[in-house]
Amino acid sequence: MNKILIAIPVRALDEISTAWDKWMELVYRNMVDEGMDVKVETVVGEFYDTARNKLVDCAIENEYSHIFFIDDDIFIPMRGLQVLLESEKDVISFLAYAKEVPLKSNVFPNFYFFSIPKLPKNKVMKVDWVGTGCMLIRTSVFDKLEKPYFGAGVEVKDNLKGTKVSYKTSEDEFFCRKLRDVNVDVYVNTYDLCEHLCRKQELFFPSLNKLEEDGSIVYGEFFDVWLKEDEGEMKNE
């Protein structure tokens, strides 16, 4: 039976949305009711890369079969964990979108180009890089990696079609690059969309979003994020 650590990096306890907290309680209760062996662990007040590294160490030390990262502003689908498990991949994530307009997804077909704006629904697709805000990972994967597993602001120097490029990574790109180097594939499952919650800010466009009573914004509901058949598709796995 799978033993799964639900790993939540928390920036600050007083910033957690009440709506998110209530939703996660429902999602967790559903997992327990279905007989899943799950435990929640948080790391509070650390940078995302540091928090993720600590949570991975916890999962390994306590012999969990999987670690399931959920960020404290991501609304995962009900039964989302079950869906990702059924995909039977070493590393797999759900689709989500960044907190900015125009909308940008967390899915990158390769490391050097823009993220994919739209994806076909109900697919499992191999990609180079996907965000870790809702990602399921077999802990055996970390046997192949050297520490640190996650690193933010790390400089990447590479060649792109004969041109030297240099920039600093996010912690999720850093992780996906390490996976590529040991030939571990990364997948995205488009069964559903994760909603991304943020505090209202002046440069966002509230008319395009659903405003919560507490002044937060849920992304995704009013955006056309699914690729239609006549628009073409990314290649499925």
Under a CB-based contact definition with an 8 Å cutoff, are residues 226 and 118 in contact? yes
Using DSSP's 3-state secondary structure scheme, residue 120 falls into coil
> 142, 55 in Cβ contact below 8 A?
no
Say if residue 176's pLDDT is above 70.
Answer: yes
* CB-based contacts of 99, cutoff 8 Å, min separation 6: 196, 198, 204, 219
Quote the pLDDT of residue 152.
Answer: 85
Contact (CB, 8 A) for 148 and 53 = yes
Which class is 3-231 in CATH?
A: alpha beta
Query: Who wins on pLDDT, 135 or 97?
Result: 135
CA quadruple 223, 225, 20, 170: dihedral, nearest 10: -120
pLDDT recorded at residue 9: 96
Amino acid at 114: F
Angle at 60 between CA 56 and CA 62, to 5 degrees: 115
pLDDT of 150 strictly over 90: yes
With cut-offs at 50, 70 and 90, classify the pLDDT of residue 19.
Answer: confident
Instruction: Assess whether pLDDT exceeds 80 at residue 224.
Output: no
- Region 97-124: mean pLDDT is 79
Min mean pLDDT across 65-79, 126-140, 158-172 is at: 158-172
pTM higher than the cut 0.85: yes
Structure confidence at residue 219 (pLDDT): 55
